Amino acid sequence: MKRRIRQGLAALGTGAIFGFGLSLSGMLNPVRVQGFLDIFGHWDPSLAFVLAGAVVVAFLGVRLARRLAHPVLDADFKLPTTRAIDMPLILGSALFGVGWGLAGLCPGPAVASLSLGLWQTALFVVAMVAGMILHDRVLAKRS
């Protein structure tokens, strides 16, 4: 039971740090994100530094995970086991990119943006969760 509490506290702390980083970087502002994605219009390259920082942190995290026997609060790491690029991955990536470009939000910033109290963000999160549930129900029937 203590392990679950520690895991929950670690998840809460990590999520809070992640949300603070998203807020500090400007990722909660859909207009700024869309400006970054608009490479043929009024491009705002400032979020490239956020992207570069995220890539460095992820790279170091994966390298560290490969050196450790197991994480501190779990039995094993949950790392990808396949390198296959298949149609579900391509379609999911395309859908994610189109949604991100149209709305200026992706799942992490959308959840963090709920703290701003905007109805548009709440609507986005409700639609996102509904899409996730629908996806899981469709996949469950296929399997």
Radius of gyration of the chain (CA): 18
What digits encode the pLDDT tens for the residues 44-79?
A: 999 999 999 999 999 999 899 889 988 888 888 887
User: How many domains does the chain fold into?
Assistant: 1
pTM of the model: 0.74
Which candidate, 27, 32, 31, 17, places its Cα nearest to that of 51? 27
Asked if 106 contacts 127 with a C-beta cutoff of 8 angstroms, the reply is no
Asked if 101 contacts 34 with a C-beta cutoff of 8 angstroms, the reply is yes
- Rounded to whole angstroms, how far apart are CA atoms 88 and 91? 5
What digits encode the pLDDT tens for the residues 36-46?
A: 988 898 899 99
Residue 118 token pair: 């905007």
Domain that holds residue 87: 2-142
